[in-house]
Amino acid sequence: MSTLTAPAEQPRTTPSRPAYRVTGRRVLASEWAKLWSLRSTWITLGLGLLFLVAFGLIAASRYRSQTGSGHLDEHFAASTAVSLSLFGTNFAQLALGVLGVLVTAGEYTTGTIRATLAAVPRRLPVLWSKAVVSGLVALAVGTLGAFVAFLFGSGIVSDTPAAMGLSHAGVLRSLLGAGLYLGLVGVIGVALGALLRSVAGGISVLVAALMLIPGLISLLPASWQDDISPCLPSNAGESMFALTHEATALSPGDGGLVLACWTALALAGAACRLARTDA
C-alpha cells in the first residue's frame, strides 16, 4: 500500500530592498528637486530677472532721453552703459536673497525639515547642498540678467557718451562680477534662513544687512565711514561689478574676498546651530 506525501511547502522569501547610502551627490540631487518643486522658486527667480533687466533698461532709456534733451541729471553725469544696465542689481539681490531664505527657513516653517534631517542624520550635508544649489541658481540667473540688460541697454545708449561694448576694458569683468555677487547673496540668504529658522526674521536681517545698515553708516563721522562702509556686504559686492572705483572703495578682488568672508561667517553660524540644536 502506497501513501502519497504532500510536497514540502517552500518558505516564502521577500525581495530584499537595495541598500541606499546617503551620499553628497544624492543629497544634492534631493535639494535640487525640492527647489524646483516650489512655486516660490519660480516667482522669486522671475522677479530677480525682471528687476535686473527692467530697471537696467529703464535707467538706460532715461539717460538717453535726458541726453537728447540736453538736461542731464547730476547723478547721470558719469554713467556708463555698464552702470546703467546694472542699475537693477540692488533690487534683484533682494529677490534672490529671499529665495535663499525660503529654501531653508521655509522647511522649518512647514515642519518638513524633520523629514529632511531624518533622511540625512549628519545634517550638515543638507546645509551645504542647499547653499550650493541656491548659489548656483542665483549665479546663473544673475549672470544671464546682467548680460541681457547690458546687450539691450548698450543698444539704447549707443551714440552717447555712455556707449560701451563687451570689448571695452572691464565690461566683461563687471557683468560676471554682478552674477557672482548675486550668487553669494543667495548663499547668504540660505545661511540666514538656517540660522534664524524664520522666514520673516531671515528676510528682515537680509534687508537690514544689504540696504538699511549702509544708510545708517552714512550718519557716522566721515573718518569712520571710510573705514567701515567699504567692508559692508553690499558695498563690497558693488565693488565687484563697478567699472570705476572711488578712492575709498575696495578693488574688485578685495571686494570679492570680503563678501566671501561674510558668506563664510554666515554659513559657519548656520552650521553651528544646525549641528547643536534640534529642528
Tens-place pLDDT, residues 49-98: 999 999 999 999 988 888 777 676 766 778 889 999 999 999 999 999 99
Q: Quick one: which of 144, 206, 155, 153 has its CA closest to 178?
A: 144
Per-residue model confidence as pLDDT tens digits over 221-233? 877 888 888 899 9
Q: What is the pTM of this model?
A: 0.89
Cell numbers 571710510: residue: 226
- Report the alpha-carbon distance of residue 162 to residue 214 in Å, rounded: 27
Cα–Cα dist 182/188, whole Å: 10
Other Cβ atoms within 10 Å of 47 Cβ, number:
18
Q: Summarize pLDDT for 172-216 with one digit per residue, the tens.
A: 999 999 999 999 999 999 999 999 999 999 999 999 999 999 888
In whole angstroms, what separates CA 61 from the centre of its chain?
27
Show the cell assigned to 127.
546645509
The DSSP H or E segment spanning 270 is: helix 252-276
